[in-house]
Amino acid sequence: MKWSEQLGAKLQTKDGLQDTDNKLAGKKVFTPFLSAVYDDMIEQHPEFELIFISSDRDPSQYAEYYNEMPFLALPFDERAANQAISTKYGVTGIPMLVFVNAEGETISLDGRTVVANSRGDVEKLWEELNK
């Protein structure tokens, strides 16, 4: 199934999926790092995109956390799409970062490690994602 079909027609503005819950302490470390990598990545590779998919249960928590991010997001009220994507990619814990291509094919289910291993080097990350 194509990537656009999984997510639906609309994304909130602000080809990876980060599934998180605003209450997690880990977000305070990883999300700022991921945001910095994202900013650098889109300068070098504008075709790259990250899409935040929240596991928050409250729209205000979602909005508060999403405000900290520079990337797109699946709107909070798109719960059916959220559940379908979480099921498809086997989301069992959060935060989880999945990298997929434009066709929705999995590149990595362990995107956090892929990003961490790049140590902020976007060319190294780009090469890893395009093997």
Instruction: Read off the CATH number of the domain in which 94 is found.
Output: 3.40.30.10
- How does strand 72-73 pair with strand 50-54? parallel
- Residue 23: the pLDDT is 46
Count of structural domains, the chain: 1
- Residue 6: the pLDDT is 57
Structural domain harbouring 90:
3-129
pLDDT digits over 2-19, tens only? 555 655 555 444 355 554
- pTM, whole model, 2 decimals? 0.75
Q: Are 6 and 51 in contact (CB under 8 A)?
A: no
- Residue 28: the pLDDT is 61
Residue 40 burial (C-beta neighbours within 10 Å; 0-12, 13-18, 19+): middle
Say if residue 75 is preceded by a cis peptide, omega within 30 of 0.
no
Low-confidence ranges of the chain (pLDDT < 50): 11-14, 19, 21-25
Beta strands in 43-122 (DSSP E): 50-54, 72-73, 96-100, 106-108
